[in-house]
Amino acid sequence: MSYPLRYPFSWFLARMGITISININFIHDDEENVFVATSKDIQGLVLEAENFNTLKKEIEEAIPNLLVFSFPRSSALTYTQGQP
């Protein structure tokens, strides 16, 4: 069971141990030949990389930092990568 981050009370439920899901959109920009990741769930998440694996690594590094920046109380929560 998971609950989307963009829904009300998501941080309350996360503190209770409910898994919170984050939707990330991926596209390939053919003109620039890069992969781009964005998310409406996490403010400021716009990343690009030359290949998909590098983009995944950048996302894994960026999400915890952006969560703390966007939701200061989230620093007590832990981030774990889920399966798609």
| In a domain? residue 18 | no
Q: Which of 46, 25, 48 is nearest to 35 (CA)?
A: 48
Q: What is the CATH number of the domain that holds 61?
A: 3.30.2390.10
The 10s digit of each residue's pLDDT in 33-80 is 999 999 998 888 999 999 999 999 999 999 888 887 766 665 545 555
**How far apart (Å, rounded) are the C-alpha atoms in residues 9 and 56?**
28
80 in a structural domain: no
2-11 in b/e form (b: 16+ CB < 10 A) is: ebebeeeebb
Q: Domain residues for 34?
A: 23-75
> Residue 50: inside a domain, yes or no?
yes
DSSP state for residue 27 in the 8-state scheme: E
pLDDT in tens, 21-45: 889 999 999 999 999 999 998 888 9
Domain annotation covers residue 16? no
Backbone angles phi, psi at 74, to 5 degrees: -75, -10
- Between CA 44 and CA 66 the distance in angstroms is 7
Number of domains in the chain: 1
Has residue 67 been placed in a domain? Answer: yes
82 within some domain: no
